Amino acid sequence: MLPSNDIEKMYYILSQIFLARDIAVESKDTQDELWDRISRDDYMMYAVQECYYTIKFILTEILDDVGRKWVERIYDDINASITKRSIDGDFKLSKLAVVISRVTALMGILKETETPELERGAVRAVQDLYDVMRHDVLSINLRENYDTWSLLSKARDEGHLFEKLKWPKNTDLKMQVKRLYSLLTIKESASSIPKNLEARRRLQFFTNSLFMKMPRAKPVREMLSFSVFTPYYSEIVLYSMAELLMKNEDGISILFYLQKIYPDEWKNFLARIGRDENTLESELYDNPGDILELRFWASYRGQTLARTVRGMMYYRKALMLQTYLERTTAGDLEAAIGCDEVTNTHGFELSPEARAQADLKFTYVVTCQIYGKQKEEQKPEAADIALLMQRNEALRVAFIDVVETLKEGKVNTEYYSKLVKADINGKDKVLFFYTFCIYRSIFYFLYVYFSYDSGHRVLLKSG
C-alpha cells in the first residue's frame, strides 16, 4: 500500500532518505545491524520504505511489458536477499547514491508535461538506471542471471528495451512522481542540526519553550513599557585592528584565536561580506568597510559591551516583529503599507508602525559615565561608542557632561546628565525629555546638577 500524499507528514521525512543513504554507503555492518540503525528513527525508516515501494509502483506503471518484468524481478531478488540476510553480498550498497541520482533524474523528467523531447530524455534516464543496476549494483552471480535471461537479452539486443514509456497522466500517479522527486531532492534546512554550538543552544531553548504552559501573551500595545540600563566606564568597546593582529608571546593573535574557535562563524562572516573562504587576510585589510565589519565580528565575540548591545537590540527587533505580525493578523496592514511589503520577510524592519510601537515599549540606555570626557580627549572608546549608536538607532547613551563656567571671577564646575542618540549624519543628538511627553515621542535634554561631596551624588536641580 502506498502512503498518502499528506504534506504535513511529508515534512517529517524530508532529508531522511539522504541520512539513510549515507548510513548504508558508509556502513560495514551486517544487514540486521544496518536496518537496526535505520529503524531507530521512525521517520527515517518510513522514508526508506516509502521510496522503496513508490519507485517500484512508478516504474511498473510507466514501463512496457519487458521493462515491467525486469523491475519485478529486481524487487523479487532484493526481497529474497533480505530474507536470506544477504543483501550486502548480492547488491553493492556503496553504489546506492548513483542509483538514487538516476531515479531522481527520471522523476525530474516525469513530473513535467509530456513532450517528444522529454519522452526521449525519460527513455535515456531509464536506460541509465538499467546500466547502473546491471554493471555497478548487481553482484557477479546475479548479473549472470540477468545476462542469460532470454526475454531481456533479446529486447536489449534488438534495441527495444525501454523503447516506449507510458507518461504519467493519472492524477494519483503524477502526485506520487512529484512526491518522490521532492523526497529525493529537498534537503530541508529546518530539520538539519546546526553545527554551531551556540545556535544549537538557542534553538533547543526555543523549541523547549514551545511546550511550556504559560499564559497567552498580550498584544504589544497592551504591554507595560520597560527600560534596561547597562553600566560602562572605560573598558574597550570594539577591538582595533592593531589589537586584533597583535601577537602574544606564543605568536597567537586575537583574530587567529577567534577564527579557530569559531570556524563556522568565520566562514559565514566571509560569505556575508562577499569573500571566498580562501581569501587572504591581507585582502580584507584593503577595504575600509570590510575592516569595520571585521572589528564588529570580533568584538561581538570578545568584548562585553558590543555583545551586550547587540543582544539587547534583539528585544526591540522581537517587539517590532510581534507588532508587525499582530497588525498583519488583524488584516489592516495592507491598507497601511501596501501589499508588496506584506510578503517581504524584512517588512517588519521597514514598518514605521512597528518601529514606533517598539520604541514606546522598550528603551535601552548604556550609562557611559565619562563619555563626554572621552570625546573631548578624542579617545578611541568614544569613537567606538558612537559607532554602536550609528549601528543601533534605538541605542541611547547617558553620560555626565562637565561644564566649567566663570561666576564672580571664579571657575565653577557644573555636572549635567545628558542622554544622546546618533542622528542621521552619525553625530550625537541630544534628546529633550519631559516625563509627561514620553509617549508623544518628544526627544529630550535632561540635565541634573550633582554634588560629589564625600563621593555621593545628590540631586540638587533638574529641568
Residue 282 banded pLDDT, cuts 50, 70, 90: confident
**What's the confidence (pLDDT) of residue 430?**
81
Question: pLDDT tens, 405-434?
Answer: 887 778 888 888 889 998 888 788 887 543
pLDDT at 442 over 50: no
Among the listed ranges 223-237, 303-317, 421-435, which one has the minimum average pLDDT value?
A: 421-435
Which residues have CB under 8 Å from 25's CB, separation 6+? 93, 94, 96, 97
Asked if residues 77 and 142 have their Cβ atoms less than 8 Å apart, the reply is yes
Q: Which residue has the cell 571671577?
A: 409
pLDDT of residue 155: 75
Range with the poorest average pLDDT among 51-60, 212-221, 314-323: 212-221
Q: Which residues pair with 368 in a beta bridge?
A: 232
For the stretch 400-413, pLDDT in tens is 888 888 877 788 88
Q: Among 126-135, 355-364, 380-389, whose mean pLDDT is lowest?
A: 126-135
pLDDT in tens, 76-96: 989 999 998 888 888 888 888
- How many angstroms separate the CA atoms of 305 and 314, rounded? 15
Residue 335 clears pLDDT 60, i.e. is over it: no
Cell numbers linked to 337: 503599507
pTM for the structure as a whole: 0.55
**Percent with pLDDT over 90 in the chain:** 35
| Whole-number pLDDT of residue 187 | 76
What is the DSSP secondary-structure string of 374-407? Answer: HHHTT-HHHHHHHHHHHH-TTEEEEEEEEEEEEE
